[in-house]
Structure 1
Amino acid sequence: MKKDGNKATQGTSRKRLEKLAWYMDSSIKIPGFNARLGLDGLLGLIPGAGDTIGALISSIVISEAVRMGVPKSVLLKMAFNIALDVVVGAVPVLGDLFDFVWKANQRNVVLLNDYLENPRETLATSRLFAWGLGAVLVIFAILVGTLGFALVRALLNAGGV
């Protein structure tokens, strides 16, 4: 994949993405606390559709990263940040609190900026993350398969078959 060679275009895109991430994750100061939340946290309060709308807006960062030629392992890490935000955000109360802390959009903009400024190091850590995530998913699949097999076996034994 070829990176967008136009530095001015990249700089403009980066500024737009930083502003989007700020609006989504930190634009609202909570009075009386040293904390900020964004529109993503407020959208997450809408039952059913809020987290989905937030994820769609968050995908703008990923689509810009694709346009800039960011490698798949970095994009995977960005997608994981959004997916975790959506999945945990769907849990009532706990998910809303997680939304205020996780700040997936700002994480993704930092990841994009890190890649554009230091591609070799960011690519290495993203590949390590991708391999680790793959290993966790394989272990999870084996565990679920083993538990499913044990459950079926126990049910068959209990039924006298």
Structure 2
Amino acid sequence: MDRPEGLQPDAAPQKPRAMGIELPMGADPAAVRKRVEAMEMLLERSFRIPGVNVPVGLDAIIGLVPVIGDLISSAMGAYIVWEGRNLGLSRWQLSRMGANVLFDALLGLVPIVGDAADLVFRSNTRNLRIIRRHLDKHHPQTRIIEG
């Protein structure tokens, strides 16, 4: 069988990378933690506003597009809730996470005020905090010591 040029017979498949972070594809808690943290960074802290040094992500940028932008950012936020569901978070935790995404979506529907609110109310960061607490309690081996 002919192999494409440059492909080694023993080459392991590459893990997907986003923003320089390897994204594991497994269902284990450590893999989910890395994916959720990468999604939160993409949505909330991927860029800095020059001059004021405020972190901004795709959530705020996409939210500038009326209605469609808010739907897209809400769908991306719902992905974090879905990952939380797969981790076995309680109904209360999932309800809080869903309420965060819903509140962010409703704020985004208000012109101008909703766009400014995206910089203050970071639903994805709040949801990541809920997932981290769950993982730290139920899967302590996934803890990452940040320096």
Shared fold, TM over 0.5: yes
TM-superposed CA distance for 1:73, in Å, is 0.3
Matched residue, 2:121: 102
Q: Compare the two structures and name the one with the higher strand fraction.
A: 2
Matched residue, 1:80: 99
Three-state SS of the structure 1 residue aligned to 2:116 is helix
User: Displaced runs of 4+ in structure 1, greater than 3 A?
Assistant: none
C-alpha separation in 2, matches of 1:101 and 1:26: 12
Matched residue, 1:113: 132
Three-state SS of the structure 2 residue aligned to 1:84 is helix
Q: Deviations over 1:72-102 (max 9, x none)?
A: 0000000111011000111111100001121
Identity %: 32
TM-superposed CA distance for 1:116, in Å, is 2.1
Q: Deviations over 1:33-89 (max 9, x none)?
A: 131110010111111211111011111111111111111000000011101100011
**Residue 106 of structure 2 is aligned to residue 67 of structure 1:** no
CA contact (8 A) 2:29 2:135 kept: no
C-alpha separation in 1, matches of 2:53 and 2:106: 26
Q: One-letter code of the match for 1:99? A: D
TM-score of the pair, normalised by structure 1: 0.67
Matched residue, 1:150: none
C-alpha separation in 2, matches of 1:42 and 1:35: 13
Q: Deviations over 1:110-148 (max 9, x none)?
A: 1111122236xxxxxxxxxxxxxxxxxxxxxxxxxxxxx
C-alpha separation in 1, matches of 2:77 and 2:67: 17
Q: One-letter code of the match for 2:102? A: A
Q: Which has the larger radius of gyration?
A: 1
Give the length in aligned residue pairs: 113
